[in-house]
Chains A and B, each alone.
Chain A
């Protein structure tokens, strides 16, 4: 069972299940994450103008993954969600990685360059 940070709104009827609105994340958190995303965007644009050889795509993906993680954890409330939700997101990530890595390993081990 998930824990809920019950916010008692004085205007809500007393007999109503306020707890079921879930953990209410403060707007301050959203503002902080918003600015973090803006910084990440600026970083990724700046980094694309710097010659880093094979590290360029790695840095770009790393920044994108960080931004996506912030969106998933905070904007999508996964950090405050029940374990079932976290497990589901993890399962999706796992399947996506299988798609990418197994497909790549197939190509690399067989037909690379023979197009």
Chain B
């Protein structure tokens, strides 16, 4: 499996079987693929960056609406999700280490743990989204201003001690929720893609694909997963923790 000498006739040089022929050396392949993966992550930074910029501007324009709307989010679920994602980044980093150390059992375990934590995150997101639907806080035809015009009618708003908003400011809470669903929805989509890739990787890891020296897939998936974690690290304080001290 780890022959460094190829058997086909044309080769005067020796290289690992997973070195592609358009690279002179394995080092060049590693450098090039790492660079390419980071370029992809840069495009992702700009992609989420656009939404963060929109959030930044609207939060500054309609601050009272953003405060009131953010009180509708549950800090317990948000914090738990943050802990889950940070833990999954840890298990993913340990997975890359396991691949580097050629410990197949440990690698599979780490990938499975990351997978389970990812599913846990999505499960909690489902709970949160369901509540938004039930309270008519989904932007669109059925959006309800009741929680913000009359905070005493809403358990979360009452618990936060919110005062009623004037009508025009109350209507701006819909912008907060548009950004909430856009940003967390896009983040959740990235999680789903990551979880599907994890499923594939678990199967391949059990076949020994990543413990023969060629760890690229695991390593670069790790970069993707850490990036998704970083996006959440910013989403959590910006969406959940706008102002809990008033």
What is the bound-complex CA distance between A38 and B151, given in angstroms?
33
A:45-77 near B, CB below 8 Å: 45, 48-51, 56-57, 60-61, 63-64, 67-68, 71-72, 74-77
Check if A50 sits within 8 Å of B245, measured CB to CB: yes
Residues on B with C-beta less than 8 A from A85 are: 34-35, 38
CA of A99 to CA of B51 in the docked complex: distance in angstroms? 11
Q: How far is the CA of A97 from the CA of B239 in the complex (A)?
A: 20
**Chain A: minimal CB distance from B224 (Å):** 10
Contacting pair B52 A100 (CB below 8 A): yes
Give the A-B contact count at a CB cut-off of 8 A. Answer: 153
Nearest CB of A to B188, in Å: 19
Instruction: Tell me whether chain A's interface is mostly helix, strand or loop, or mixed.
Output: helix
Instruction: State the CA gap A11–B49 with chains docked (Å).
Output: 45
Interface flags, B50-68, vs A, CB<8A=1, else 0: 1011001100010000000
User: Do B97 and A71 touch across chains, with their CB atoms under 8 A apart?
Assistant: no
Complex CA distance for A18 and B222, rounded to whole angstroms: 20
B45 and A34 form a contact (CB under 8 A): no
In the complex, chain B residues whose CB is within 8 Å of the CB of A88: 35, 38-39, 42
Assess the A30–B93 pair: CB atoms within 8 A: yes
Check: B233 CB closer than 8 A to any chain A CB.
yes
- B34 near A96: Cβ-Cβ < 8 Å: no
Q: Does B82 contact A (CB under 8 A)?
A: yes
Distance in Å: Cβ of B233 to nearest Cβ of chain A: 5
Residues of A within 8 A of B87 (CB): 34
The answer, among A7, A16, A38, A99, for a CB contact under 8 Å with B16, is: A16
Main secondary structure of the interface of B (DSSP, over half): helix
A113 to B138, CA, bound (A): 27
Our pick among B45, B90, B215, B241 for the contact of A45 (Cβ within 8 Å) is: B241
Q: Which residues of B contact A17 (CB under 8 A)?
A: 4, 16, 26, 213
B103 CB to nearest A CB, Å:
9
Q: Identify which of A51, A72, A92 contacts B42 (C-beta below 8 A).
A: A92
- List residues of B (1-16) whose CB comes within 8 Å of A's CBs: 2, 4, 16
- Chain A residues with CB below 8 A from B52, complex form: 100
A44 touches B35 (CB 8 A): no
- Are A27 and B35 in contact (CB-based, < 8 A)? no
By beta carbon, the residue of chain A nearest B50 is A99
Q: A16-B16, A88-B39 are in contact. List 4 more A-B contacts (CB 8 A).
A: A17-B4, A45-B75, A75-B93, A81-B34
Residues of B bordering A, CB below 8 Å: 2, 4, 16, 26-27, 30-31, 34-35, 38-39, 41-42, 45-46, 49-50, 52-53, 56-57, 61, 75, 79, 82-83, 86-87, 89-90, 92-94, 97, 99-102, 213, 215, 219, 222-223, 226-227, 229-230, 233-234, 236-238, 241-246
Q: List 12 A-B contacts (CB under 8 A).
A: A12-B102, A17-B4, A20-B30, A27-B94, A41-B236, A44-B237, A51-B245, A75-B93, A85-B35, A89-B38, A92-B46, A103-B53
